[in-house]
Amino acid sequence: MSAFVIDAFEFCRNSGHREGVTPVAEMTRLAADCADKSGEIRWSIDGGLTKQGYPSMTLAVAGPVKLVCQRCLTALDYEIDSSTMLVLGKDDEDADGIEEVLDDESIDVIVGSHECDIRQLLEDEALLALPQAPKHEVCPDTKLLDALKTEKVSPFAALKNLKSE
């Protein structure tokens, strides 16, 4: 069994703790959303129980990544810094019941596993921390964008070429 595969219920029951650093290049789904594969994600997972006695894990991820600015299409430095609590249910029905009891939108209830790969949970958290449309506050090089804005081309200009003589 991998060092990253845990019994999630046992981990929570024993108030487990794991932390580490993973290169972005090893997080294939995250790397696919980045401008390059540089950077490292610091992470930690703490197990425990909620006030109601449900098993829970608190995940935290942080670190720099390079995204593509959706305005100028150049690299954008972005700092991931996210933390979330996951409450574990035994199955879908149990998870739905827990969600109703907790009635808290900030807590995610998932189906737990006795063979849980924490790398997947950590990468999910990092992906959820990314902005949907990353943009610089002020783009560093806007010459191309400015040129496109200043060219005033009539939407009918292409039609004049179709005109028969």
SS3 category, 3: coil
| CA angle in degrees (0–180, nearest 5) for 141-138-124 | 105
Q: Is residue 162 part of a domain?
A: no
165 belongs to a structural domain: no
For residue 99, how far is the Cα from the chain centroid? 22
Provide the number of structural domains found in the chain.
1
Q: What tens digit of pLDDT does each residue of 6-53 get?
A: 999 999 999 999 999 999 999 999 999 999 999 999 999 999 999 999
Query: Is residue 12 one of the residues assigned to a domain?
Result: yes
Answer whether 0.85 is exceeded by the pTM. no
Pairing of strands 75-89, 107-111: parallel
156 occurs within a structural domain = no
CA-CA distance, 121 to 47, in Å (whole number)? 13
Q: Is position 155 within any domain?
A: no
Domain range for 60 is 5-138
- Asked, for residue 110, whether it belongs to a domain, the answer is yes
